[in-house]
């Protein structure tokens, strides 16, 4: 009887250890990202949005249903932020209500981005993003983003109403852009990959219009498109390409 109880006890310990194992990890386009590592994303105070991203890896032999929780550590007043995890959620949502399934031994590179609007404010806002297994919250990993908005030279702090819309997003073969920027002498739309390299630059010659981008020459993945007006980034948002 004692041997049986001992076996059951040891089996329970093994089960708990196995269940508590951490299978989730993070990385970006440059390599692995340590748990709770800080990453800085910069932008001008007048930029429409600053985007951040991360890849989420599942090292287990089974698929995991993963959710995201946003924790505002220190956020400047009158700024706003939100995140996307499969779907994009409003700034009042701190935990994704829907999980994203990551297959075994796979890395999700397209579903997470976070967005921060400084709304003209200078300083640093700090936000932690926690990824966890819906069925085992102890299997979790996180990273911390410092959104650093500092002025670049002398800038016009007045808000400018700019609009860029892209569809479909995700884009398969073509991405259609519509823009309205008022009357500016120098403006362009720049598309960058996750390394920050510009892969496309389109000069905008009118205050509003529409153009189509052939995405066949771009690889699958996350890109950011930015509206540049008189040398200043006004809007920066995510574009997903899935062929």
Q: Taking a C-beta distance cutoff of 8 angstroms, is the pair 162, 188 a contact?
A: no
Domain identity same for 139 and 167: no
Residue 54 lies in a domain: yes
Question: What proportions of the chain, in percent to the nearest 5, are helix, strand and coil?
Answer: 5, 55, 40
Give the model's pLDDT for residue 158: 40
Give the model's pLDDT for residue 156: 41
Domain identity same for 194 and 169: yes
Give the model's pLDDT for residue 9: 47
The domain that holds 131 is classified in CATH as: 2.60.40.1090
d(C-alpha 133, C-alpha 22), whole Å: 9
Domain identity same for 85 and 195: no
Domain identity same for 139 and 29: yes
Domain identity same for 206 and 177: yes
Residue 154 lies in a domain: no
CA 224 to chain centre: 10
Domain that holds residue 201: 163-241
The domain that holds 188 is classified in CATH as: 2.60.40.1930
Domain identity same for 34 and 117: yes
Give the model's pLDDT for residue 154: 37
Domain identity same for 77 and 142: yes
d(C-alpha 209, C-alpha 173), whole Å: 20
Q: Which of 90, 125, 149 is the last residue of a domain?
A: 149
Q: Taking a C-beta distance cutoff of 8 angstroms, is the pair 109, 221 a contact?
A: yes
Residue 1 lies in a domain: no
Domain identity same for 183 and 144: no
Give the model's pLDDT for residue 185: 60
In which region does residue 36 sit, left (phi positive, over 0), alpha (psi from -120 to 50) or beta (all else)? left
Domain identity same for 29 and 144: yes
Average pLDDT across each block of 10 residues of the chain; the chain has 243 residues. List them in order.
48 46 89 93 81 92 97 95 88 94 93 89 95 96 93 45 77 85 74 84 80 88 83 79 88
Q: How many domains does the chain have?
A: 2
Residue 18 lies in a domain: no
Domain identity same for 142 and 170: no
Residue 155 lies in a domain: no
Give the model's pLDDT for residue 56: 96
Q: Which two tokens stand for residue 18?
A: 């196995």
Q: Taking a C-beta distance cutoff of 8 angstroms, is the pair 143, 131 a contact?
A: no
Q: Which of 143, 85, 144, 146 is nearest to 118 (CA)?
A: 146
Domain identity same for 124 and 181: no
Task: Give kind and range of the element (H or E) at residue 199.
Answer: strand 198-203
Residue 8 lies in a domain: no
Residue 13 lies in a domain: no
d(C-alpha 203, C-alpha 215), whole Å: 17
Give the model's pLDDT for residue 198: 85
Give the model's pLDDT for residue 186: 74
**For the purposes of burial, counting CB atoms within 10 Å of the CB of 222, is it exposed (0-12), middle (13-18) or buried (19 or more)?**
buried
Q: Which of 13, 62, 53 is nearest to 195 (CA)?
A: 53
Q: Which of 85, 115, 149 is the last residue of a domain?
A: 149
| Confidence (pTM) | 0.64
Beta bridge partners of 73: none
Give the model's pLDDT for residue 88: 85
Q: Which of 149, 183, 202 is the last residue of a domain?
A: 149
Residue 111 lies in a domain: yes
Q: Which of 144, 140, 129, 108 is nearest to 23 (CA)?
A: 140
Domain identity same for 32 and 136: yes
What letter does residue 18 receive in the DSSP assignment? H
Q: Which two tokens stand for residue 85?
A: 């995890």
């Amino acid at each position: 009887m004692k041997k049986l109880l001992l076996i059951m006890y040891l089996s329970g310990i093994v089960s708990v250890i196995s269940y508590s194992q951490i299978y989730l990890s993070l990385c970006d386009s440059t390599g692995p990202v340590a748990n709770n590592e800080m990453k800085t994303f910069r932008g001008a105070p007048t930029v429409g949005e600053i985007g951040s991203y991360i890849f989420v890896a599942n090292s287990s032999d089974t698929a995991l249903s993963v959710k995201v929780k946003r924790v505002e550590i220190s956020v400047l007043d009158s700024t706003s932020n939100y995140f996307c995890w499969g779907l994009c959620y409003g700034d009042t949502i701190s935990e994704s209500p829907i999980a994203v399934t990551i297959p075994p031994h796979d890395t999700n590179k397209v579903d997470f981005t976070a967005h921060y609007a400084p709304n003209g404010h200078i300083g640093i806002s700090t936000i932690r993003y926690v990824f966890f297994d819906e069925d085992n919250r102890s299997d979790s990993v996180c990273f911390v983003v410092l959104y650093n908005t500092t002025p670049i030279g002398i800038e016009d702090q007045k808000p400018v109403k700019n609009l860029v819309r892209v569809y479909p997003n995700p884009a398969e073969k073509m991405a259609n852009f519509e823009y309205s920027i008022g009357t500016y002498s120098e403006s362009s739309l720049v598309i960058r990959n996750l390394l920050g390299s510009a892969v496309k630059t389109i000069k905008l010659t009118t205050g509003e219009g529409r153009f189509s981008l052939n995405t066949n020459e771009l690889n699958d993945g996350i890109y950011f498109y930015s509206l540049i007006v008189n040398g200043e980034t006004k809007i920066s948002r995510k574009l997903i390409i899935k062929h």
